[in-house]
């Protein structure tokens, strides 16, 4: 029976091969989600090695942030866009979790990440969550949590209204679009806690800034930020 199942699995893999989420090449035996070449060849930012990186500088003078970080550089038509599209719109949830694992391994090298109490994904509005079926930032958070030994908190930061898409908006228009969109449901739970706020892509940082403003109203809260990718 075991041998028959093995042959069946090999036959299915031959007809419907698993493809790398980054380059769309066929995965070989032992590879999962992303091929070995892409794992080493992805455009990693190495922002975890530089406290004053590009993402961190976006929040200077706006939010008091302990650390700000993005795992990868995002370019149109590139491997990162392919991965994000597949896990965000095609239901390939394992991509987000894997990228969270990789990011978590990098973040464990940063001083004070062992003090993170909660990982909070940027929330989707209920209407968009129903349509998509899942929050892509939550998947990234789940992967991070496995490496950082922290709890994922999904019901405390809430989105109170739906917003227009941020695509093609200017930095100021993006910020205006996100005003009074988020709220903290249970501030007492976050008092004196270190929170890692996470999202998929950071561009101007307006969404993360709006979330951070609400979170930092909680007494004693320390805020860090992590995203899958940074797009200029």
Give tens-digit pLDDT for 114-173.
899 999 999 998 888 888 899 999 999 999 999 999 999 999 999 988 665 545 545 555
pLDDT for the residue numbered 111: 76
pLDDT tens figures, 177-190: 566 789 999 999 99
The crossing angle, in degrees rounded to 10, of helices 93-107 and 79-89 is 120
Between the CA of residue 28 and those of 24, 35, 144, what are the distances in Å?
12, 8, 26
Q: Averaged over 49-71, what is the pLDDT?
A: 95
Print burial letters for 25-57: b (CB count within 10 Å at least 16), e (below 16): eebeeebebbbeebeeebebbebbeeeebebbe
> Which domains does the chain show, CATH number per domain?
1-41 (no CATH), 43-230 (3.40.50)
Mean of the pLDDT values across residues 190-206? Answer: 96
Q: What is the per-residue pLDDT across 67-93, written as a single tens digit (0 to 9) for each?
A: 999 999 999 999 999 999 999 899 999
The mean pLDDT of the chain is 87
Question: Whole-model pTM?
Answer: 0.86
The residue behind tokens 């392919």 is 82
């Amino acid at each position: 029976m075991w041998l028959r199942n093995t042959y069946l699995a090999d036959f299915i893999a031959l007809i419907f091969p698993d493809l790398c989420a980054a380059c769309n090449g066929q995965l070989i035996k032992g590879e999962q989600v992303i091929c070995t070449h892409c794992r080493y060849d992805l455009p990693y930012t190495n922002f975890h090695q530089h406290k004053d990186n590009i993402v961190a500088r976006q929040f200077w003078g706006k939010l008091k942030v302990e650390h700000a970080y993005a795992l990868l550089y995002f370019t149109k038509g590139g491997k990162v866009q392919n991965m994000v599209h597949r896990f965000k719109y095609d239901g390939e949830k394992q991509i987000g979790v894997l990228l969270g694992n990789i990011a978590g391994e990098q973040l464990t090298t940063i001083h004070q990440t062992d003090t993170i109490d909660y990982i909070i994904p940027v929330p989707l509005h209920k209407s968009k969550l129903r349509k998509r079926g899942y929050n892509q930032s939550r998947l990234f958070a789940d992967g991070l949590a496995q490496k950082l030994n922290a709890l994922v908190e999904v019901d405390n930061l809430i989105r109170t209204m739906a917003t227009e898409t941020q695509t093609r908006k200017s930095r100021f228009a993006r910020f205006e679009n996100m005003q009074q969109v988020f709220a903290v449901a249970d501030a007492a739970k976050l008092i004196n806690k270190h929170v890692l706020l996470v999202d998929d892509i950071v561009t101007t940082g307006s969404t993360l800034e709006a979330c951070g403003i609400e979170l930092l109203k909680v007494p004693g809260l320390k805020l860090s930020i992590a995203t899958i990718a940074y797009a200029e």
